[in-house]
Structure 1
């Protein structure tokens, strides 16, 4: 019997990538061969995202790409958008199956018959039913893996659909996370990135109950002791959940790197209140100060949303100036887009699309300036670089522990190795060149 081929396309966040990887391993166990999305497959699985308007639009384009390669292929949609708007996805020409939040990990149970459907078949749940936890991790390249430790969110931010798409906050058991971390390190992967929807909330709702057996601090304390993992990175953590104890642990840690990604969303307290965020800007300043106090070389990334309802020119400038004065390293800028069934979509003070775009451009410009200033401060210092596996136009790239991106002429022997280097100069493309100071690092 001919081996069936399956291909995956992932939209959105690191969490989606870790889940795609786990689902792909499930297909492999059932005897499927995984191929690239550009190649001919019997099944195409698209893991969707609903955070921005753009992700919705891209879905149709991706379905068309799959159909172009194989018009007879079976197309399945999973992920956040599939949970929020299953009918909309099922109506897209060529889509055969749409699975909601509880069904996506059981996808292989739904595809006994690979013949095309006249209409997309939907298996979706009420999001209240998504109260169990499925652990996952991604191994896409040899260098790093995304390890999921938590899912869902109990926060009620007025712009966000994630609680509707992923359900209540729930966590993996400590044993499971540690076992997954060991499995990853045994495969020669040097860096693990912890991921989830709201990872600072770790310990809540283990297996759907509300028992706080372990905290985020317990989790990172134990992970730091796992032998064989060279680097651990916290992907994104809410400022109100990033406690001093966790910051201090990272500063003393064997494996955790001095890199934090902390969502801010707005530098205006008025807008933060409208967003129903759980902190004011003063707390954010306090978190940045604490990190820089114990780790002056730490890299701090910031999420910010522009064009939220009620954001006047004055309020936007308040955010701009706040970020400009803050000792941070780069920004992830999101242009606000209205999402169905969110409180913000009914708010007054709508900002026009062209003004949203203009503000977004201003903050992206600020991000370039911030990253450059951060890189300049790191010149003439010694750092440890983990090299990536791709040959990009004759260069190999890598990241220092504090997330400075470096480049060197391509050398396959450097792939997935750690080297101590001295950062020497910033190249025209904004990346950093270096001199080797020590061969392979074995911590």
Structure 2
């Protein structure tokens, strides 16, 4: 009897990509494939690409080489955002056999014949206007939390972003299907679900360009809070103009939603926000942060920020730096602006030299370290609940509190995927937090 074919996956980019890779992987398992690690010998390697940063583009070739090293005769397929934006570029990479765009990736097994390597990369990529249907997905099995996709695509026209070109219009899963997926996840013993999407605050827009919101994001959050068996729910990234006061208030009293928000800012300068075509000004951002901290003083707030956008002068950058420095936030995700084809920003004047972009990026990364440290220090002595992860990292097990403080303790397999109430005691030399078990809790 012939042994099952083996498939391996590599995911670049965001949580949404991880959830979609898992769904694609399950379609292979349903066809009788065995999933193996990317470093193992497989018959087919699937690379889920990202186009958000220049770095992700460049890494693709390296990953193809890794696959070829593991098995020179393996079939290599590329899917995801970069595969939609520049399919021919990927198809031209030596060793790539198949490139699938936004609508085709979920039907990948339909495009596989006998896995014979092609003389050249075969492209199946739709016009992005055809990406008007929704495929629900979630990731499971590789971690103690699951990423649950609730929305895809984006109708915003930010001048630096290729996501609408790569993923199409904003569209959402039905509330019924999200709840079904959440229940499936909870039944597999996973304690935490992270909600993902391209623009999740826009949740509710239907399929096929139906702009009527069947349900709002708040209705989604309220319904998920009722799902039995889920210990924790985390909102990933949500636009400040779509994070309404009612949602913040609901989370502050919720059974399962944790006090952790990740809110893209991109710039602290209103002038730059206008050039970016963002849908808010810095004053609204301050309001959102103040509202969260008033209701949940212990909440963790993460911020996305882009440095080196065209037209960003030293004064604009310092405006952003001081804005963030004075804001009661917990950490930053800093992105160095890189030109993307077919975006208005790529045509703008006032190009910031790379050296200057990198210097500004370094300054904000330093500020992020300072902010995270101050947030962790504010949590010392408090009682928190930690969800422990499954990996032995140099003799330690790591975990996260509900408000996203990263903790460590000597490796103990009995702690994996458990929730423990602890008292945070000190910050270790590596910046992670030590704790003691809260003895006042009775079993």
User: TM-score by structure 1 length?
Assistant: 0.99
* Paired residues for 1:11-410 under 5 Å: 11-206=12-207, 208-410=209-411
What RMSD in Å do the two structures reach over aligned CA positions? 1.1
- Cα distance in 1 between the residues matched to 2:234 and 2:41: 36
8 Å CA contact 2:423, 2:435 repeated in 1: yes
8 Å CA contact 2:206, 2:214 repeated in 1: no
Post-superposition Cα deviations, 1:142-195, rounded to whole Å, max 9, x if no partner, equal: 410000000000000000000000000000000000000000000000000000
8 Å CA contact 2:132, 2:207 repeated in 1: no
- Number of residue-to-residue matches in the alignment: 442
Shift of 1:113: 2.3
Which has the higher mean CA deviation after the structures are superposed, 139-148 or 395-404? 139-148
- Unaligned runs of 5+ residues in structure 2 are none
- Cα distance in 2 between the residues matched to 1:372 and 1:142: 26
8 Å CA contact 1:419, 1:439 repeated in 2: no
In the other structure, the counterpart of 1:430 is: 431
SS of the residue 2:241 aligns to: helix
> Aligned in 2, Cα 1:143/1:207: closer, same or farther, shift over 3 Å?
farther
SS of the residue 1:115 aligns to: coil
In the other structure, the counterpart of 2:10 is: 9
Shift of 1:225: 0.5
- Cα distance in 1 between the residues matched to 2:27 and 2:113: 14
8 Å CA contact 2:225, 2:256 repeated in 1: yes
8 Å CA contact 1:127, 1:164 repeated in 2: yes
- Cα distance in 2 between the residues matched to 1:288 and 1:314: 24
- Cα distance in 2 between the residues matched to 1:226 and 1:79: 31
8 Å CA contact 1:418, 1:441 repeated in 2: no
- Cα distance in 2 between the residues matched to 1:104 and 1:142: 23
User: TM-score by structure 2 length?
Assistant: 0.99
> Aligned in 2, Cα 1:145/1:440: closer, same or farther, shift over 3 Å?
farther
Post-superposition Cα deviations, 1:298-357, rounded to whole Å, max 9, x if no partner, equal: 000000000000011111000000000000000000000000000000000000001100
8 Å CA contact 1:251, 1:294 repeated in 2: yes
8 Å CA contact 2:49, 2:78 repeated in 1: yes
Which has the higher mean CA deviation after the structures are superposed, 31-40 or 200-209? 200-209
Post-superposition Cα deviations, 1:185-211, rounded to whole Å, max 9, x if no partner, equal: 000000000000000000012454222
- Cα distance in 2 between the residues matched to 1:441 and 1:274: 56
8 Å CA contact 1:271, 1:310 repeated in 2: yes
- Cα distance in 1 between the residues matched to 2:177 and 2:426: 43
- Cα distance in 1 between the residues matched to 2:251 and 2:138: 22
- Cα distance in 2 between the residues matched to 1:248 and 1:266: 26
Post-superposition Cα deviations, 1:230-288, rounded to whole Å, max 9, x if no partner, equal: 00000000000000000000000000000000000000000000000000000000000
- Cα distance in 1 between the residues matched to 2:344 and 2:214: 33
- Cα distance in 2 between the residues matched to 1:337 and 1:105: 29
SS of the residue 1:241 aligns to: coil
Shift of 1:438: 4.7
SS of the residue 2:438 aligns to: strand
- Cα distance in 1 between the residues matched to 2:218 and 2:334: 29
- Cα distance in 2 between the residues matched to 1:400 and 1:411: 17
- Cα distance in 1 between the residues matched to 2:115 and 2:227: 42
- Cα distance in 1 between the residues matched to 2:49 and 2:180: 28
8 Å CA contact 1:173, 1:206 repeated in 2: no
- Cα distance in 2 between the residues matched to 1:175 and 1:247: 23
SS of the residue 1:413 aligns to: helix
SS of the residue 1:239 aligns to: coil
SS of the residue 1:296 aligns to: coil
SS of the residue 1:322 aligns to: helix
Shift of 1:141: 2.8
- Cα distance in 2 between the residues matched to 1:270 and 1:405: 36
Shift of 1:439: 8.8
Moved over 4 A (4+): 438-442
